[in-house]
Amino acid sequence: MILRSVWLTCTVTAIIIGSVICDEQCLPASCGDLHDIRYPFHLKINGTSDPNCFSHPAELLCEHNRTILNLYNGTYYVLAIDYENYEMQVVDTGLLRDTCPFRPLYRLTSSNFSEADPYWPLSYDYVAFFDCLLPVESPYYIRINCSTNSSSSSSTTYSYVMMGNRLDDLHDSCNLASIIMGMIWYDNSFSFIRDELRRGFKLSWDRFPRGNVTTTTASKTHFLHVFREFWFWISIGKFEKLAVDH
C-alpha cells in the first residue's frame, strides 16, 4: 500500500513537472498583425500546433495571416487580445467582405452562450438585418446601400439594418435575415454602422471576472442578456416562429 502511494505521488509529480516544463517551452506565437499570442491560447498554423502548448486550452487558427476563432460553427477573425482585462475583439468574417447586401455570415445572440462556455459576450444590444419586398419608410430602418435582383424573378429585395433598441415595428413585407450582437449607438448612416460593425465586438474569456465581481454577478449578467433577448423577439412578433424554424 505504501509503495502504491509513493508510485502515485511520483506519477502525479512527474505529470505536474512535465506540464510546467512544457508550458515554459511554449513560446508566444504570432499571426499577421497579432503578436505575443500566449496562454490560454495556443495557435494552430497549417493544421499543426506546438506540442509544448498542449496545456493551453483555447485554440486559435492562423490562416492567410489571419487569426481565427471558431465559435458555435461560425468563423471569426480575432482583431485584438487584451490579456490584462481577459477580453478579445472579434468580427464575423462576412462583415469584412464587399458583398451585396452587406451582412454577417453567422447569427449570434446570447442564447448561443451558456454558463459552461469559456467565452461570454460583452455586447448588450442587437443589430438586425432585414430583407423586404417593399421599400420601408421609417427612420429606424437604415437602408443598406445596394439592392439585389432575384435571379428567378424580376422582383427587387430591399435590405435594411436596424439597431436592437429600435425593434418595435416589423413591417409585413420584411423578413429577418440575420442578427448579431453589437455595441453601436443609433445612427442613420449606413456607412457609419458598417464601419462600426467591422470593428467587431468583444468577448470575455474569463467567465468570472477579477476583482469584486462574483459568480452571482456573472449569473445576473447572463440573466440580463436572456431577458433582453426575450423582449427583442417579442417586440418583432416572431419569437415563436423563429424559435421553431431556427
How do strand 74-82 and strand 34-37 relate by DSSP bridges? Answer: unpaired
Looking at residue 208, what DSSP letter applies?
S
* DSSP H stretches of helix in the chain: 2-25, 190-197, 215-235, 239-245
Give CA 154 to chain center in angstroms.
36
Q: What is the pLDDT of residue 226?
A: 57
Conformation bin of residue 10: beta by default, left when phi > 0, alpha when psi is -120 to 50: alpha
Q: Provide the domain count of the chain.
A: 1
Omega cis (within 30) before 121: no
With respect to residue 223, please indicate whether it lies within any of the assigned structural domains. yes
Domain that holds residue 232: 102-199+211-238
Q: Amino acid identity of 156? A: T
With respect to residue 67, please indicate whether it lies within any of the assigned structural domains. no
With respect to residue 169, please indicate whether it lies within any of the assigned structural domains. yes
Question: Whole-angstrom Cα distance, residue 159 to residue 146?
Answer: 8
Q: What is the pLDDT of residue 51?
A: 84
| Nearest one of 67, 35, 41, 68 to 54, comparing CA atoms | 41
Q: What would the pLDDT profile of 80-95 be if each residue is shown by its tens digit?
A: 999 988 899 999 999 9
Q: What is the pLDDT of residue 55?
A: 73
With respect to residue 130, please indicate whether it lies within any of the assigned structural domains. yes
With respect to residue 131, please indicate whether it lies within any of the assigned structural domains. yes
With respect to residue 155, please indicate whether it lies within any of the assigned structural domains. yes
With respect to residue 141, please indicate whether it lies within any of the assigned structural domains. yes
Give CA 173 to chain center in angstroms.
29
The answer to whether 184 and 142 have CB atoms below 8 angstroms apart is no
With respect to residue 48, please indicate whether it lies within any of the assigned structural domains. no
CA angle 30, 80, 58 (to 5 degrees): 65
Per-residue pLDDT of the chain (246 residues; tens, 9 = 90+): 444 443 344 333 333 334 444 455 788 999 999 999 998 898 998 878 788 887 778 899 999 999 999 999 899 999 999 998 889 999 999 999 988 889 999 998 888 888 778 888 886 678 899 999 999 998 889 999 875 554 444 457 899 998 876 666 678 889 889 999 877 776 778 899 999 999 999 998 875 333 334 444 445 555 555 555 555 555 444 433 443 344
Q: What is the pLDDT of residue 34?
A: 93
